[in-house]
Amino acid sequence: ETGVTQTPRHLVMGMTNKKSLKCEQHLGHNAMYWYKQSAKKPLELMFVYNFKEQTENNSVPSRFSPECPNSSHLFLHLHTLQPEDSALYLCASSQEASHIQYFGAGTRLSVL
Amino acid sequence: GQQLNQSPQSMFIQEGEDVSMNCTSSSIFNTWLWYKQDPGEGPVLLIALYKAGELTSNGRLTAQFGITRKDSFLNISASIPSDVGIYFCAGRTNFGNEKLTFGTGTRLTIIP
């Protein structure tokens, strides 16, 4: 148990669906991250929030829309995804943006 | 952008054997981290290194921050079945930089 909880653990959606991924951290951290993990590729940083402000958008397509209502919660809203978006989506948090990151267990997303 | 070359990509060893893996970069890194990812889970931090030449142990795991600051090594002694998983290196180029660069991982399999 890393203190970072992601739901759902698995999600199957069609290309026309809208869904959201949720991440909650119980560590009192101030920075939160979304990563995409595809097979045989390094983890790809998608978004960074520091003190609820988005500080990094790593050229992510607009069909991925993050939301950080407070320092403990992070969402990733999904709409009109493509099959190549199927991957493991990992959330992480750190005390501050430059500190060690702790990961959740991820959401395994399949887009049909 | 920065890339981390991690090798080997996969290892098949017998229980009790020692394991060595490494990560190299063309850029200088000021922080090196080693994570392990079990199937269906997110990466878990094993060891963090902050100074060139630093050698740090965590139980049977030992990691070193290369003197050139462009590489890092992870050794596992007397492997056991629960060591199975994917090991990732990650690096940060500057203190205060929130972005981590991840390697592609080393998949460790233990043959009974």
| A85 SS3 class | helix
Residues 22..81 of B with a Cβ closer than 8 Å to A: which? 33, 35, 40-45, 48
| Among B42, B98, B104, beta carbon nearest to A48 | B98
Q: What is the pLDDT of residues A77-110, one digit of tens each?
A: 999 999 999 999 999 999 987 778 999 999 999 9
When pLDDT is cut at 50, 70 and 90, the band that residue B25 belongs to is very high
Give the integer Cα–Cα distance in Å for B73 and A92: 24
Find chain B residues with C-beta within 8 A of A101's C-beta: 45, 100
Find chain B residues with C-beta within 8 A of A43's C-beta: 43, 88, 90, 102
Find chain B residues with C-beta within 8 A of A21's C-beta: none
CA distance A26 to chain B (A): 16
| Among B4, B95, B101, beta carbon nearest to A98 | B95
Q: What is the pLDDT of residues A24-64, one digit of tens each?
A: 999 999 999 999 999 878 899 999 998 888 888 888 999 99
Q: What is the pLDDT of residues B54-70, one digit of tens each?
A: 999 999 999 999 999 99
- Whether B98 shows a pLDDT value over 70: the answer reads no
| B46 SS3 class | strand
Q: Checking DSSP bridges between strand B106-111 and strand B85-92, what pairing results, if any? A: antiparallel
CA distance A29 to chain B (A): 14
Give the integer Cα–Cα distance in Å for B54 and A7: 38
* DSSP annotation of B100: P
| Among B42, B44, B105, beta carbon nearest to A106 | B42
What is the interface size between A and B, counted as CB pairs within 8 Å? 53
